[in-house]
Structure 1
Amino acid sequence: MSTLIKALAALTAGALTAYLLPKHKKGKEKKRLPVGESFRFLAEQTGTCRDPIPVYYYRPATWTEDQPVFISFPDVTRRAEKFERHMESLAVKYNMLIACPEFSTKKYPGARWYQEGNVQDKEGEEGTIQPRNHWSFDAVNHIVAAVRARTHAKGKVIIFGHSAGGQFMHRYSLLDGRADVDAIVCANAGWFTMPDDTTCYPYGTKGLGLSDAGLASAFALPVIMLMGSEDVSREQPFRATPEADAQGKNRMERCLHYFDACQKKAEELGVPFNWKKGVVEGAAHEGGKMAEGAMKLFCEEPLDETVGM
């Protein structure tokens, strides 16, 4: 009888070991992204509903965890999967892993929820400022953390937004930039929230409770304002309101106006200003060319100099 008990005990111990160890290994393997295209859902509480955010990935065959990760936030079309595929050749060329989160129009409808970050309960100047826990910007922090965990990234992490995504990125960096990243690239944004507490949101910061310390934190971030040299058209979609035109007659003028106003504000406060500005020569309002221009900064150009200026 004792022999039988010992045999059963041995089998039980062996089964337990076999159950625990392979399961741990499989779990670890599942977290690693495969080479090529892949797709993951991310649970996200911001937005109008609790639908998860789809994140589309592309991992070049030569990419390792020490290489850069490029997280691209969508333009006004919100077509993250299409843009990820458009950037696959760039991912291979610059050996960067691409992650494109999708901000659907169902979960983040209109400019209020995406470009303007749901800071107000209505789009435009007629809205009422909402509590910070209603803002959409927390999604950026969650996405960056999830991508880092999924990719095991040890190298540089860049977040990039073009057009509507550039608007979202610039307001995120000014009002709530807390993600652990090496650069926040705002490309070809159409118009801006100025660091002006006498002008109502979304054109200014009046009523937001943005303190001098908050501005100092924003100006200390690794922000890059990127412009296309040919992005001077006023064709739709382009905001031509008097308030937006006061910032400049095209996207490049507005970006320079915003950068200069922020730099001047930092000087007034006597705080460091770590932002940079750059021009992608030959690029109009083109997400692919702007993304490549941003990638080059981390592969070919020094980051301690203004690019193309």
Structure 2
Amino acid sequence: MYNKLKYLFLTVLLAASCSGKDQGEPANPPPPGIVPKDGVFEQRGEGSFVYTGYEPLKDKPITLYYYIPSGGEVERMPVLFSMHGAERDGTIQRNAWKYFAEKYGFVVLAPEYSKTYYTENDYQFGSVCRSSGSDVLNEESQWTYQTVEALFDYFKSETGNTSAAYYLFGHSAGGQFVHRFLLAMPGARVERAVAANPGSWTFPCVEGITGTDGKTYGWPYAVAATPFADAAHLTAFFARKMYVQIGTADTDENDSSLPKDAPSMAQGPHRYARGRNFFAACTTVAGESDMPLRFVLSEVEGVGHSTLWMVYGKASVTNPADTEARGKNSAFNLLFE
């Protein structure tokens, strides 16, 4: 995939050098190919619009922030969805990726799920159940996860993009979203995914997990009492190419945004420990059930709780435009190399 991106980048350069652009040509021309019927993806570079196209949740708008490279054929570009954390700011995700997108020729789609319309249960937990801690399931059409697939179809229909699948990244609460999305949506068209520094995980324990209060918990902390507890769902989940990306310095036990409820605390004292424990549990369950496991544990040395640092794989990024200065376990490398 990395070689493909390099090829696309060279194509962009050749196209730019041979274009003979007139002085009257717009600074940000629309993507080539079909003309977007809604006009929302006409602008190159940074853009945004409010999306209400998923009919079952049309009363819960999503602001989609995006980045389209300044050159190249949008129809042929890979597509990356980047999911925000609990701060609910899609611009953080778009901006963390835009220099990579510009250089290597892929599109960034960063949906923003406002707290006005999406609670923690709706976002981090996908609205799979009526409320956090409830075992009453919502209809699948009401799951927030469905909006990602709908947005992908919308982008393809608007631009003529021919991608059969997309790439998926999420940091913190976004990392919660990503791994639960893959568990709940076995048919989702995801090529590779990175779940970075989630504060809590859904463990593949069909009997649930025991919290620090001695009680047994299911969704969203374990698959117990959900449709995802059967062998078919777990097999499909483990078959995903998902990177459990954790910063070795994400160890602040007093972080105000760290979930401290009983089932989360049972997963470990901080995010770094919780990620390692989740991966170990998946390895154990997959091994005992003879299910192939494609998950990869990727530890980013010296990095704490930061979207930008996980994307670049380094504890300090002095010049985000210098994409070549990234670390070996950067989210970019995990997804595209």
TM-score range, shorter chain: 0.7 to 0.9
Equivalence for 1:203: 221
TM value normalised by structure 2:
0.73
> Which one of the candidate residues 291, 294, 300 is aligned to 1:280?
300
* Contact 1:46/1:138 (8 A) holds in 2: no
Match of 1:225 among 244, 259, 278: 244
Shift of 1:52: 3.4
Q: Match for residue 171 of structure 2?
A: 162
Cα gap change, 1:154 to 1:131, in 2 (>3 Å): closer
Give the partner amino acid of 2:34.
K
1:224 CA displacement = 1.5
Greater gyration radius: 1
- Which residue of the partner structure matches residue 99 of structure 2? 89
**Structure 2 SS opposite 1:55:** strand
Identity over the aligned pairs, expressed in percent? Answer: 28
Tell me the amino acid that sits aligned with residue 147 of structure 1: F
Q: Which residue of 2 aligns with 1:12?
A: none
Shift of 1:89: 2.8
Which residue of 1 is the match for residue 333 of structure 2? 296
Corresponding residue of 2:148: 140
Residues in 1 aligned to 2:45 and 2:150: alpha-carbon distance in whole angstroms? 23
Question: Residue 182 of structure 1 aligns to a residue in which SS?
Answer: strand
Matches within 5 A, 1:12-31: 28-30=34-36
User: What CA deviation, in whole Å up to 9, does each residue of 1:5-32 have, x standing for no partner?
Assistant: xxxxxxxxxxxxxxxxxxxxx9922266
Give the CA deviation at 1:276: 1.6
Q: Does 1:107 align with 2:117?
A: yes
Equivalent position amino acid for 2:46 in 1: E
Q: Does 1:54 align with 2:63?
A: yes
Confirm or deny: 8 A CA contact 1:99 1:147 kept in the other structure.
no
Flag structure 2 segments of 5+ consecutive residues without an equivalent: 1-31, 209-217, 313-329
Alpha-carbon distance between aligned partners in 2 of 1:283 and 1:64, rounded to the nearest angstrom: 35
CA-to-partner distance for each residue in 1:150-206, whole Å, 9 max, x for gaps?
451548731111111110111111222422121121111001111112222222122
Matches within 5 A, 1:117-196: 117-123=126-132, 125-126=133-134, 128-151=136-159, 152-154=161-163, 157-196=166-205
CA offsets, 1:124-160, max 9 Å, x none?
x255333333322212221233334445154873111
Distance 1:146 1:30, change over 3 A: closer
Where in structure 1 are there 5+ consecutive unaligned residues?
1-25, 302-309
Partner of 1:212: 231
Tell me which of 77, 100, 103 is aligned to 2:87: 77
Mapped to 2, the partners of 1:96 and 1:280 lie a distance apart of: 24
Runs ≥4 residues deviating over 6 A: none
- Asked whether the equivalents of residues 90 and 111 of structure 2 are also in contact (C-alpha less than 8 Å), the reply is yes
Structure 1, residues 17-52: CA drift from partner, whole Å, max 9, x if none? xxxxxxxxx9922266432112244312455x6243
Amino acid at match of 1:223: M
Q: CA deviation at 1:94?
A: 4.1
Q: Would you say 1:247 and 2:245 are equivalent positions?
A: no
Deviates more, 1:30-39 or 1:163-172: 30-39
- Is the 2:84–2:92 contact (alpha carbons within 8 Å) kept by the matching residues of 1? no
Superposition CA RMSD, Å = 2.5
Q: Per-residue displacement from partner, 1:191-228 (whole Å, max 9, x unpaired)? A: 11111122222221222132111111111122111112
Measure the CA separation in 2 of the matches of 1:268 and 1:148.
Answer: 41
1:262, distance to aligned residue in structure 2 (A): 1.4
Distance in 2 between residues matched to 1:282 and 1:94, nearest whole Å: 26
Contact 2:45 2:68 in 1 (8 A): yes
The DSSP-based 3-state class of the residue aligned with 1:87 is helix
Which has the higher mean CA deviation after the structures are superposed, 279-288 or 56-65? 56-65
Distance 1:147 1:205 in 2: 32
Residue 46 of structure 1 contacts residue 136 of structure 1 at CA under 8 Å; is this kept in 2? no
